[in-house]
Amino acid sequence: MLIELTPGPRDSPVVEEGHLFEGAPAFSLSDLRGGDAMGVVGDLVVSIKGITDILRRNESAARIALAAPDATARIAASIARLEQTVNAAADATEKLLRKLEGNLTSGSEDLASSLASFRRASADAEKVAAGLREIFETRQRPHEPRLLTNHTYTYTLYSSQTYHADSGGPQMIERITIIEPRSDRLHIFSRFELPRLGAVLLATIMRDRGYEAQALYMSTRDILARTPTADLVGISTITATAPSAYSIGDAFRARGIPVVFGGPHVTFMPEEALAHGDYCITGEGETGFPLLVEALNGKRSLSEVPGLVWRENGALRRNPPAAPIEDLDSLPFPDFSLLVMGGRARMGGPGPGRATIPIQTSRGCPFDCSFCSVTGMFGRRYRHRSTANIIAELSRYNPREKIIFFYDDNFTANRAKTKELLREMIRLELGFEWSTQVRADVANDPELLDLMGRAGCSALYIGFESVDPQALKEMRKSQTVEEIRWAVRQIRRAKIHIHGMFVFGFDSDTPEKTRATVRFAMKEKIDSAQFLILTPLPGSDFYTQMQAEGRLLDTAWDTYDAHHVKFRPVGFSPWELQLAQIRAHARFYSPLQILRRLLRGRVASFVIAVYAHSISKRWLREERGYLRLLRAGQRMLRSTPRGALASS
């Protein structure tokens, strides 16, 4: 059995008599004594029994944090001191023995036998010191046990047989839980229970490799209330859920369970994440995560895990990222039976009806919009699954029970491939109702639109972003206002629901332009719409720009949800930008507009509008405090003399 001794951070608490198990209660010297002195932890010579007792009490705490970064030197020094003491004691004993032996008389047999046992004890002490020296030197050898890095060593404290007998089993990672926290804040999708695919996919991969794996998607409170039995916890993040993810990480570490972060936020903020977890895997996680588990189980070194970022002896270590998965068909179909969603048993929108099944058919996007982090995360090279592979996944579900949400960023980026898939869906009469995200350019191809309708497409989510040519240019959207208008008309004609997404806050935007955008959306009768606030998401060019220009307002990540102003805009004050978004929703989902939808016979659009109207009002109530602060900020700004601003 291998025990990994990892130097803890510089400020690790040091108990006078011992050290702390990372994330576990403190232990005292008395915990560690009581058996043969065979192992060394920091300055302490500890007993195997002591270690195994502690491990048994706290099964997952297989790692021991050494408080001092110079642990190795301290261990060497303590062994040298021990040896010196033993040698000095042995010398003194020998001298004493010789002196006593010289004075022995024939009747003093008792004394002779006492001296003999004293000599044996002294020889034992020498053996212990020699044993410790050997252990120490063994761990310095590069091969066995393996020297992982300069500072993190895997120690074999004793033979595997001895350990197994003592501990009742090795401390291996066998049970894995991957968690995606639901956003705790209200947003337009709050009542849609839709996890991202990462957690379920990674759980499926680990299950297929023989581990006991599950995925959780629920609120932070529900997650913390559960006591999942896991040897390792993986946590999936986007920016808006990063603070929740971190508090979950802290909680599991306090229970002594190692924590690994992954996902689009920590990919760009690994250092931040490591304050709340042990490891972070950047980029796509399918290659790195299983290798990390193998490394933690002693089968390889951490430096072999692509995309891994971790701390070693206080220093940040970072491996090169994993190459994006080229053959997407090689991935298993996400098994949603591994997903636990707490009280909410089904994925999808509110109310009864069919559950939603997310399926991703491609990764990456060939475009390069400045505000988007998809290309930073999944690359610009568009990779797609084969038609046969997608059809096989679809065929596992019953269209009478499930509707499909294709989780692609740009479902039609390779039109020939998309058409092939749609034709196959039509030919096989799969009969699914489905929706997906596309760009406005989908309407430039009438055949594609026709196939989409015939294959069961009921709704399209389209990032129109803006109807201002300057803003479209600024964000590098590669799309014109005319294309947007044309797309809306063609898609409406194909009787497909359009959910349009618009973004406010580009440098060329003004309050008047935002009003014009809402007028456009109403005039063109877009079924449902989201007016979002431009958000500097880590990993996007826009974030880098805002950071470089010192325009970020704060890094309260939970409000990086496109509903809050997070940077200093140019054409508005932060408050005016927020107000523009609030008014846009109020106008687009006004009672009159809602009624018009009903009169037009657009029932789905009517229902969504009622829902959006009520959620907007609830949002205003819940965010009263934030809105007051933002508004007060504006007042302060107004009352600050210009000179003061310039010099601040």
Residue number with CB closer to ligand SF4 (201 or 475): 475
Distance from C-alpha of 4 to C-alpha of 63, rounded to nearest angstrom: 5
SS3 343: coil
Stretch that binds ligand SF4, among 43-51, 368-376, 414-422, 546-554 (CB under 6 A): 368-376
Closer residue to ligand B12 (CB): 19 or 439: 439
Sole binder of ligand B12 in the list 192, 316, 395, 398 (CB under 6 A): 192
Choose the contact partner of 365 out of ligand B12, ligand SF4, none; CB within 5 to 8 A by kind: ligand SF4
Supply the minimum distance, in Å, between the C-beta of residue 378 and ligand SF4. 9
| Of positions 286, 468, 527, 541, contacts ligand B12 by CB under 6 A | 286
Residue 198 engages ligand B12 in binding (rule: CB under 6 A): yes
Q: How far is the CB of 515 from ligand SF4 (least distance, A)?
A: 24
The one among 372, 403, 462, 594 contacting ligand B12 by CB under 6 A: 372
Q: Residue 234 — φ and ψ, nearest 5°?
A: -105, 140
Interface with ligand SF4, residue 411, by CB under 6 A: no
End-to-end CA distance of the chain: 60
Residue 270 partner contact from ligand B12, ligand SF4, none using kind-dependent CB cut-offs of 5 to 8 Å: none
Which of ligand B12, ligand SF4, none is residue 286 near (CB under 5 to 8 Å by kind)? Answer: ligand B12
Q: Which of residues 456-475 bind ligand SF4 (CB under 6 A)?
A: 463
Contact region for ligand B12 (CB under 6 A) — 15-23, 114-122, 531-539, 579-587?
A: 531-539
- The structure tokens listed for 78 are 């303590």
Beta-carbon contacts of 171 under 8 Å, excluding residues fewer than 6 positions away, are: 1, 3, 55, 59, 60, 62, 231
Q: State the binding partner of 410 from ligand B12, ligand SF4, none, CB within 5 to 8 A by kind.
A: ligand SF4
Instruction: Single out the segment in contact with ligand SF4 by CB under 6 A; choices: 104-112, 370-378, 453-461, 511-519.
Output: 370-378
Distance CA 301, CA 290 (A): 13
- CA–CA gap between residue 336 and residue 397 (Å, rounded): 11
Q: Which of 182, 439, 499, 566 binds ligand SF4 (CB under 6 A)?
A: 439
Site membership for ligand B12, residue 152 (CB under 6 A): no
Q: Cα angle at 469 between 468 and 470, to 5 degrees?
A: 90
Gap between the Cα atoms of 328 and 273, Å rounded: 28
| Element containing residue 87 per DSSP (H, E) | helix 71-102
Does residue 201 touch ligand B12 according to CB under 6 A?
Answer: yes
CB of 421 to ligand B12, least distance (A): 18
Q: Which stretch binds ligand B12 (CB under 6 A): 103-111, 194-202, 205-213, 449-457?
A: 194-202
Q: Indicate the helix (H) or strand (E) that contains 82.
A: helix 71-102
d(CA 572, CA 553): 14
371-410 residues near ligand SF4, rule: CB under 6 A? 372, 374-375, 409-410
Cα radius of gyration (the chain): 32
- Member of 262, 348, 500, 574 binding ligand B12 (CB under 6 A): 262
Q: Is the four-CA dihedral 435, 440, 443, 445 of positive or negative sign? A: negative
Nearer to ligand B12, 72 or 360 (CB): 360
> With 0-12 CB in 10 A as exposed, 13-18 as middle and 19+ as buried, what is 137?
exposed
Ordered DSSP codes for 182-235: PPSS--TTTT-B---SHHHHHHHHHHHTT-EEEEEEE-HHHHHHS----SEEEE
β-bridge pairing 339-340 and 212-218: parallel
Q: Which stretch binds ligand SF4 (CB under 6 A): 122-130, 148-156, 363-371, 501-509?
A: 363-371
Query: What does 50 bind: ligand B12, ligand SF4, none (CB cut-off 5 to 8 Å by kind)?
Result: none
Asked if 583 and 616 touch (Cβ cutoff 8 Å), the reply is no
Q: Binders of ligand B12 among 381-420, rule CB under 6 A?
A: 407, 409
* 367 sits near ligand SF4 (criterion: CB under 6 A): yes
Tell me: does residue 360 bind ligand B12 (CB under 6 A).
Answer: yes
**Residue 570, CB half-sphere, CA atoms under 13 Å: how many?**
7
> What, of ligand B12, ligand SF4, none, does residue 565 touch, CB below 5 to 8 Å by kind?
none
**Nearest CB to ligand SF4, comparing residues 205 and 374:** 374
Tokens of 276: 């709340």
Cβ-Cβ contacts under 8 Å for 491 (sequence gap 6 or more): 442, 443, 449, 460, 462, 498
CB atoms within 10 A of CB 345: 9
Give the number of C-alpha atoms closer than 13 A to the C-alpha of residue 365, restricted to the C-beta side.
21
Residue 496 near residue 453, CB atoms below 8 Å: yes
What is the C-alpha to C-alpha distance for residues 501 and 534, in angstroms, rounded to an integer?
11
Q: Which does 265 bind (CB under 5 to 8 A by kind): ligand SF4, ligand B12, none?
A: ligand B12
365 forms part of the interface with ligand SF4 (CB under 6 A): yes
In the list ligand B12, ligand SF4, none, the entry touching 264 (Cβ below 5 to 8 angstroms by class) is ligand B12
Query: Which residue lies nearer to ligand SF4 by CB, 57 or 476?
Result: 476
Residue among 442, 462, 468 nearest 453 (CA): 442
Q: How many chain residues touch ligand B12 (CB under 6 A)?
A: 42
Q: How far apart are CA 319 and CA 271, in angstroms?
A: 13
Binder of residue 375, out of ligand SF4, ligand B12, none (CB less than 5 to 8 A by kind): ligand SF4
Least Cα distance to 197 among 357, 386, 354, 397 occurs for 357
**68 touches, from ligand B12, ligand SF4, none (C-beta below 5 to 8 Å by class):** none
Q: Does 63 bind ligand B12 (CB under 6 A)?
A: no
Rounded distance between C-alpha atoms, residue 114 and residue 108, angstroms: 10
Residue closer to ligand B12 (CB basis): 510 or 605: 605
- State the residues that interact with ligand SF4 by CB under 6 A: 365, 367-369, 372, 374-375, 409-410, 439, 463
- State the residues that interact with ligand B12 by CB under 6 A: 178, 183, 187, 189, 192, 194-199, 201-202, 234-236, 238-241, 260, 262-265, 281, 284-286, 289, 360, 372-374, 378, 407, 409, 537-539, 561-562
